[in-house]
Structure 1
Amino acid sequence: MIISAQGLKKSFTTKSRKGSQTVEAVKGVDLEVKSGEIYGVLGPNGAGKTTTIRMLSTLITPDAGTAVIAGHDLVKEPAQIRRKLGYVSQAGGVEEQNTARAQVVFAARIYNVPDPAKAAEEILRKFDLSDIADRPGRTLSGGQKRRVAIALGLVHTPPLLFLDEPTTGLDPQNRANLWDRIKELREQGTSVLLSTHYLEEADALCDRLAIVDHGVIVAEGTPAELKRSVSGDVVTLRLDGLERAAEVLTPLVARTRVDEDVLRVYVDDGEHALPSLLRTLEADGLSLRSITMERATLDDVFLAKTGRSLRDTGAAA
């Protein structure tokens, strides 16, 4: 394991005219990240994702708990850990005035890379940044800045990379391009821990992930395992009498949920369950307006574990 953490906790105290208030950002997180995998931390804004990553990357000290990162104790050996990781924050850290090349060379010197200029050229080329390497940061697009930020975090070839909300604010094309770059890192042996509130991103990128809410992990596993845990298919019904339909179908299915003007029915095998569901509704005099069936999503997992949709928290699909 390149990361093994148990019981990590962190609280923050804020002061105002009304007095001080303590907020538990992380309430006891256990997680293990295998070498060479992409491990995701999925949850809404304010769930504790960034605080968890900042603790594991030695930027803030946990109030409680233990962790071993790349073979070193989190609290006792932070300097050794920093030499073995790269960190890309939500902001990215790309300077507006200096060129991309100058920034990456400077980062290489900070990490005592033997040939900073050569290392910078190699990482810029790897991320298709050579053509814009001599432009100041303020002239770069959002996607280009994110690639420069990751180059800054990788110029010293660390075995572990932390990415905090790496694609926030990017358009779909730039997001897909960055996903490809992150997958390439895994293929080259780099371990990646990323936080995200994008359901599609977690599903597409992560070998395993933890779903977090209010500072705790509510579910963990591969995306496929997590989706299977809430049944394999979701049947969405539009009809009058949603509550009555839920009542008559509940004995036949894993779970039902009335969601605004539709009834969502969770079943293990939708194709085989569908005829029985339709017969039951017809026998009870309930007429369908429409019906759709799709595979369970990570949002269904979040809904099952927390009682609300991740999309309803403001997170993107």
Structure 2
Amino acid sequence: GTRPVASLNRGFSAPVNLSSNLTSEDLVFLAAHDSDPFNRFDALQGLAFALLKDGARTGTLPDPKALVEAARLLLSDATLDPAFKAQALALPGEAEVARELARDVNPDAVFAARKTLRKAFAEGLGDVFAEAYASLGTPGPYAPDAASAGRRALRNLSLDYLTLPGTPQALARAMAQFEAADNMTDRFAALAVLSQHDTPERTLALDAFFRRFENDPLVIDKWLSLQAMIPETGTLERVKRLSLMPFFSMTNPNRVRALIGAFVTGNATQFNRADGAGYDFLVEVVLGLDGTNPQVASRMLSAFKTWRQLEAGRAAHAERALRRVAETPGLSEDVADIAMRSLG
């Protein structure tokens, strides 16, 4: 007969790491059929983590066919809540993968592996994402209830994957949502999708968003963070330009966290540039802030906390940057403490 597949720790919510001999085929089966929702989620995430770690280590992502098929079965299951589908189909982030790798981390390799897997999802599930996007629009005025929020979450995830190819049609769809949205969730989701594509649509949308919300500080903070996290080689210069704009001030902690904090904690490839430029930028910011706001300066410096996990070249740049801070005369106690503890 058919070999049974164990559904482990059913109803169990403790944060534990469990080793098992479940195969990728077992995980596909669990992702498609397990009656325990968390186990379905965990099976899908387990498949994704295994592929991403292998791809980041070797430079070549293993065949993602099994994961794509598991995602299709889950996405097509009409009995599942849209909010659950959105959570289950969100791939592990770069920071999560780096944490799993734990040593000799190359952020560019992690990003490349994740980009390849996202492309496989977009190509292999385009039809079901298109169906989800078309069917999940909520008619009538905006409603903040959980069911509507879940529909928006899955619809916006679908938009992200549908826009990934960057075709004129795909960009037009995202731009149409940005322009027609009657709520911040959908408008900002479309903006986030467009921000990943270096096209005229991105510039138009970013400018229009700023003009619409320039008098709302919290919303402009989100706008700054979004741009700081664009994974492109020009982002460091973009952050520097934004830091010189009249609406930005180093004396405003929220602005500093929104722009520079987002860059150093949410943009792994560009903060951890192979040439060390991202680290040098942070050092200048920290030393400039230390005299007026050592608490914020020390919090920014804590972005170096995982530098020992990086591959040798980046780790050397990070150590040099930390030593430059530690050896600066007249440091505040807060910044000196973070620098020395980071250096060990």
Same fold (TM over 0.5): no
**Structure with greater strand share of residues:** 1
Larger relative CO (CA 8 A, sep 6+): 1 or 2? 1
Q: Name the TM-score, length of structure 2 as normaliser.
A: 0.27
Q: Name the TM-score, length of structure 1 as normaliser.
A: 0.29
